[in-house]
Chain A
Amino acid sequence: MLQKAEETAPLLAVNNIEVIYNHVILVLKGVSLSVPRGGIVAILGANGAGKTTTLKAISNLLRAERGEVTKGTIIFDGAEIQDQSPSDLVQRGCIQVMEGRHCFGHLTIEENLMTGAFTRKDGRGAIAADLEMVYDYFPRLRERRKSQAGYTSGGEQQMCAIGRALMSRPTTILLDEPSMGLAPQLVEEIFEIVSNLNTKEGVTFLLAEQNTNIALRYATYGYILESGRVVMDGEAKDLRENEDVREFYLGIGGEGRKSFRDVKHYKRRKRWLA
Chain B
Amino acid sequence: MLYREAGDFKTTYREDNQTFPIKSERYLFWGAMLIAFCVVPFFVNSYWEKSVLVPLLVWSLVALGLNILTGYCGQVSLGTGAFMAVGAFACYKLMTAFPGMSIFFVVILSGGVTALVGMLFGLPSLRIKGFYLAVATLAAQFFLIWVFNKFAWFYNYSASGQITAPERTVFGIIVTGPNAAPWATYLFCLTFLFIFAWLARNLTRGRIGRSWMAIRDMDIAAEIIGVEPLRAKLSAFAMSSFFIGVGGALFFSVYLGAAEVTEAFGIDKSFLALFMVIIGGLGSILGSFLGAAFLVLMPVFLKNLFVGSLGWPTDVAAHIQIMLIGGLIIFFLIVEPHGLAQLWRLTKEKLRLWPFPY
Contacts and interface: CB of A to CB of B under 8 A. Distances in A.
Interface of A: 20, 22-26
Contacts of A23: 346, 350, 358
A127 B349 CA distance: 50
A25 B353 CA distance: 11
Contacts of A22: 346
Interface in B308-358: 346, 349-350, 353, 358
Contact of B346 (A20, A24, A26): A24
Contacts of B349: 24
A7 to B, nearest CB: 36
A205 B157 CA distance: 78
12 contacts: A20-B358, A22-B346, A23-B346, A23-B350, A23-B358, A24-B346, A24-B349, A24-B350, A24-B353, A24-B358, A25-B358, A26-B358
Given A22-B346, A24-B346, A26-B358, 9 more contacts: A20-B358, A23-B346, A23-B350, A23-B358, A24-B349, A24-B350, A24-B353, A24-B358, A25-B358
A24 B347 CA distance: 10
A23 B350 CA distance: 9
Interface of B: 346, 349-350, 353, 358
A23 B348 CA distance: 12
By Cβ-Cβ distance, the 5 closest A-B pairs, closest first, are A26-B358, A24-B349, A24-B358, A20-B358, A24-B350
Nearest to B349: A24
Contacts, number: 12
A24 B358 CA distance: 5
Nearest to B337: A66
B352 to A, nearest CB: 9
A236 B358 CA distance: 35
Contacts of B346: 22-24
A132 B353 CA distance: 54
Nearest to A21: B358
A23 B358 CA distance: 8
A72 to B, nearest CB: 15
A26 B353 CA distance: 12
A184 to B, nearest CB: 28
Contacts of A26: 358
Nearest to A27: B358
Contacts of A20: 358
A24 B351 CA distance: 10
A25 B346 CA distance: 10
Q: Among A20, A23, A24, find the residue whose CB has the most chain B CB atoms closer than 10 A.
A: A24
A26 B358 CA distance: 7
A26 B349 CA distance: 13
Which one of B346, B353, B358 has the highest number of Cβ atoms from chain A below 10 Å of its Cβ? B358
B297 to A, nearest CB: 26
A24 B353 CA distance: 9
A25 B350 CA distance: 10
Nearest to B353: A24
Nearest to A20: B358
B333 to A, nearest CB: 12
A20 B357 CA distance: 11
Contacts of B353: 24
A78 B346 CA distance: 38
Nearest to A26: B358
A250 to B, nearest CB: 34
A136 B318 CA distance: 64
A128 to B, nearest CB: 36
A22 to B, nearest CB: 7
A23 B349 CA distance: 10
A266 B346 CA distance: 35
A22 B349 CA distance: 11
A23 B346 CA distance: 8
A20 B350 CA distance: 13
A20 B346 CA distance: 13
A13 B346 CA distance: 33
A25 B345 CA distance: 13
A25 B358 CA distance: 7
A72 B207 CA distance: 46
B42 to A, nearest CB: 41
A62 to B, nearest CB: 15
B358 to A, nearest CB: 5
Nearest to A25: B358
A69 to B, nearest CB: 13
B24 to A, nearest CB: 20
A63 B349 CA distance: 21
Contacts of A25: 358
B200 to A, nearest CB: 26
B327 to A, nearest CB: 21
A20 B358 CA distance: 8
A35 B41 CA distance: 69
A114 B353 CA distance: 47
Nearest to A66: B337
B353 to A, nearest CB: 7
A184 B260 CA distance: 70
A26 B350 CA distance: 12
Contacts of B358: 20, 23-26
A235 B243 CA distance: 65
Nearest to B352: A24
A66 to B, nearest CB: 8
